[in-house]
Chains A and B, each alone.
Chain A
C-alpha cells in the first residue's frame, strides 16, 4: 500500500528555522516526483515545488523560489521542506504529494500525505 506519512504539527516563532518531512512507503521512492502543496487557513491549494528523489532534480513555483528549500534523502525514502527564517505568513497546512507520470497520461498527484500544520506566532 502506497503511503506518504508526514511529520507532526509544529509551533514556531518568527525567525526560527524548520524542516518538516514526508516518508514514502509501498513503492519505489526514487522513481516518482514528490511535491509540496500549501494551504493557508481557509484558503485554496498552492503548488510549491517538486523533487525527483532519484537524482534530486528540484523545481520551484516562482512564488516560493528562494523562500523554502525542498530536499530528499533516498536512503530513508524521505522528502523534506525547510525554512531558514519563518514568518507569520508561513502559517499553513503543508501537504506532500506523489506525482504519477507515464508515457500514456499527463501527470497527476495520486497520493497525498496527511498534512503538517505549521503555526508561526510570537
Chain B
C-alpha cells in the first residue's frame, strides 16, 4: 500500500500568514494527488486535484505543487475561514486510495 505522510500534523498561524503543508508518498504517484479541507462537523471539501489544479470556486490563495513523492499545499495569505484540517489523498493505485493523517491549522 502507498502511505502518505503529512507535515506538520499541527500548525499554528496568524491571519495574513503564508503557510505550506507537505505531503510525502512512500512511492511515486505522478500527479495523482488531491487536497481536501475539513471544518469541524462538516464533510471534507475538495481544494486541489491532479496535484496542482484548483477546483472550481476555490479561492486563488490556495495552490498545490509537486509530483512523484513530494507535494505541497500553500495558502498565500491566511483568512479566518481557512482554519481547518487539511488532508492529502493519493489516487494512483487503481481503485485503492489512501489519505494522509491530516494537518490541523489553528489560529495563533
Contact = CB atoms under 8 A, between A and B. Distances in A.
A106 B87 contact: no
A46 B34 contact: no
Given A44-B87, A108-B49, A108-B91, A59 B96 contact: yes
A107 B30 CA distance: 12
Given A106-B92, A108-B46, A44 B1 contact: no
A45 B28 CA distance: 21
Interface in B74-108: 87, 89, 91-92, 95-102
B44 interface: yes
Category for how many chain B residues contact A: 20 to 34
Interface string B15-55: 00000000000000011111010100001111001100101
A106 B44 CA distance: 19
Contacts of B1: 62
B60 to A, nearest CB: 19
Nearest to B97: A47
A18 B53 CA distance: 38
Category for how many chain A residues contact B: 20 to 34
Interface stretch (A9-17, A24-32, A77-85, A112-120): A112-120
B61 to A, nearest CB: 20
Nearest to B48: A108
Contacts of B43: 95, 112-115
17 contacts: A33-B95, A35-B97, A44-B87, A44-B101, A44-B102, A47-B96, A47-B97, A59-B96, A105-B50, A105-B53, A106-B34, A106-B49, A108-B49, A109-B34, A110-B46, A112-B44, A113-B43
Given A44-B100, A47-B98, A108-B46, 19 more contacts: A44-B102, A45-B36, A45-B89, A59-B95, A62-B1, A105-B49, A106-B30, A106-B31, A106-B32, A106-B91, A108-B34, A108-B50, A109-B34, A109-B36, A109-B46, A110-B55, A112-B44, A113-B43, A115-B43
